[in-house]
Structures are given as C-alpha cells and as structure tokens.
Amino acid sequence: MKKITKIICIIFVFVFNSVMSQYQAPKIVTDVNQKQKQVSSIHQFIVFDINQKPFDFSKLKGKKVMIVNTASKCGYTYQYEELQQLYEKYKNKGFVIVGFPANNFRNQEPGTNAEIAEFCKLNYGVTFPMMEKISVKGDDMHPIYQYLTQKSKNGIEDSEVAWNFQKYLLNENGILEKVIAHKTSPLDDEIIQWIEK
C-alpha cells in the first residue's frame, strides 16, 4: 500500500510540474515582448551633438520631443525662429526640440557643423539642442531616422522625409505619435494642442 501511495505521489508531482511549466510559458513570452517594446523607443539612441559631444536620448525620458531636420539655405529656414519661440515657451513644461541638420535636399545645408552652429545662433538665437549634420534619407540614412521612418522599427507607421523641417513628435515614453509636414508651422494649433494635452 505504501508503495502504491509513493508511486501515486511521484506521478502527481510529475504531472503537476508539467502543467505548471506550461502555464509559465506565456509569462516568459510576455517578458520578451515587454523588452522589445522598451527597445522600440527613441530613448535607445545616443548621437553626437553639433559640438561632437554625446547626446543620450534616454535623458529625455518623461519629456515630449519634437525631432526636426533642418537646413540653413531653405525656403523654410525661417522656421528656426518659430522653433525657438516654441522651445522657449514649453522647455520648462516637459518639452524639447532636437534639430538634425541635413543636406539631403538640393544642397541646402552645405556647411560644416561649426558653420551651422554659428548660423543658428547668430541669425535665430537657437538654444534648443542641435545635433551633428546627418543624412535623413537614402542609403546613408542615419539610424535614428531609420527608426523614425520605418514601421518595422518604430512600431507605428512608415513615412518618408519629404523636405527640410519635417517634424516627428514623440511622447514621454519616446514613442512616435505624429509626423508633421515640413510646410506646417511649428506654432500650428495641432502641435500646440499635442504639447499641452
């Protein structure tokens, strides 16, 4: 009788462990998915600013972010002034603008990083973070713009940078929420409402 009881107990433990391991499997999958979601954020990137110093996007956690590709010799260059106004108004309210100079459109940003920095400060008093000059489209597209423009990386939508001063709006968790056309003023109601909501 004791032998039978022992055998039953062993079978019970074996079955119980098998069942429990099956119930734990979804938990592991969920953990992996959560890690993937955390990676799909702008906060994963470290780039170089216009002075060649590392700029860590993880330091922007908790802030809404506008990323904009800029150019000094473009018909929309005047938007620097509006971007600076927007930054001044909301920089202490959990909002930041990050500019990426790019020379992808008709050679409208031919200058060096030093020349671009001087131009922005001298002509528009820019104080929001400016990064080093990069490419925002084509074969040499910077990884941060691959993230912004490819749904497979950002998890939200595909897009293409159509021209200088296209704007990408990311929430406090570093997740893409809106793509705003280059023609749209940085002071447009849609952008203001997004910042204030």
69 CB contacts (<8 Å, ≥6 apart)?
99, 100, 101, 102, 104, 136, 145, 161, 164, 165, 166
Q: Is the pLDDT of residue 4 over 70?
A: no
* pLDDT on residue 39: 43
* Arithmetic mean of pLDDT, 138-146: 98
Q: What is the pLDDT of residue 10?
A: 45
pLDDT in tens, 88-139: 999 999 999 999 999 999 999 999 999 999 999 999 999 999 999 999 999 9
pLDDT at 8 over 90: no
Return d(Cα 152, Cα 137) in angstroms, integer: 16
Confirm whether 74 is a catalytic residue.
yes
Given 60, 74, 83, 117, the catalytic residue: 74
What pLDDT score was predicted for residue 91?
A: 98
- Contact of 186 with 194, CB cutoff 8 Å: no
Read off the pLDDT of residues 11-38 as tens digits, 9 standing for 90 and up. 444 443 443 344 333 332 333 344 344 4
Residue 190 confidence (pLDDT) above 90: yes
pLDDT band at residue 40 using 50, 70 and 90 as cut-offs: confident
pLDDT score, position 196: 98
pLDDT of residue 168: 98
- Give the torsion sign (CA, 154, 137, 45, 73): negative
Residue range 127-156: average pLDDT? 97
Query: pLDDT tens across 46-90, in order?
Result: 999 999 999 999 999 999 999 999 999 999 999 999 999 999 999
